[in-house]
Amino acid sequence: MSGNTLEESLHALIARFSTDPAWENKLPGSLELRLDRGKKGVYLFHGGTSPSVESGAGGGECIWELSSSTFEQLCQHQLTPQEAFHLGELQIEGSVEVSLCFSELFV
């Protein structure tokens, strides 16, 4: 997944999550993705039989907070979520299970 812009990368990630049959019933809950402390967007990824994403929505069993530049690096496979976390570029709160599952989107 590589995009030239933040919007393209977000669109590709959301499309993969929402339309790839492999993601049906895979995410065991919901994850809030906050970019640039919410200034570049807040997205709520809902798991289940019909995975969906809400823009501007908060909540979820897990929260990922990161900069838009770190998000781009994840999308372009220049950095893994685990590396970003260990470097302090990705802050995670809540369910470890949801976070580990969501990180598979960046493989």
CATH number of the domain encompassing residue 12: 3.30.1050.10
Residues 54 and 30 sit within 8 Å (Cβ to Cβ): no
Query: Can you give the pLDDT at residue 50?
Result: 92
Smallest Cα–Cα separation from 77: which of 103, 47, 44, 42? 103
Instruction: Print the domain residue range for 36.
Output: 6-106
Q: Is the pLDDT score of 16 beyond 50?
A: yes
Task: Give residue 2's pLDDT band: very low, low, confident or very high (50, 70, 90).
Answer: very low
pLDDT exceeds 60 at position 13:
yes
Residue 1 lies in a domain: no
- Structural domain includes residue 71: yes
Q: Give the pLDDT of residue 58.
A: 85
Residue-wise pLDDT for 94-106, tens only, equals 999 999 999 999 9
Domain total in the chain: 1
79, part of any domain: yes
Give the side-chain half-sphere CA count within 13 A for 37: 0
pLDDT band at 3 (very low <50, low <70, confident <90, very high): very low
Structural domain contains residue 43 = yes
DSSP string for 30-89: EEEEEEGGGTTEEEEEE-SSS-EEEET----SEEEEE-HHHHHHHHTTSS-HHHHHHTTS
Tell me, yes or no, whether 97 lies in a domain.
Answer: yes
Structure tokens at 88: 């302090």
**Does residue 45 form part of some domain?**
yes
Instruction: Give the tens place of pLDDT for each residue, 24-78.
Output: 999 999 999 999 999 999 999 999 999 999 999 988 999 999 999 999 999 999 9
Domain contains 10: yes
Within-domain flag for 39 = yes
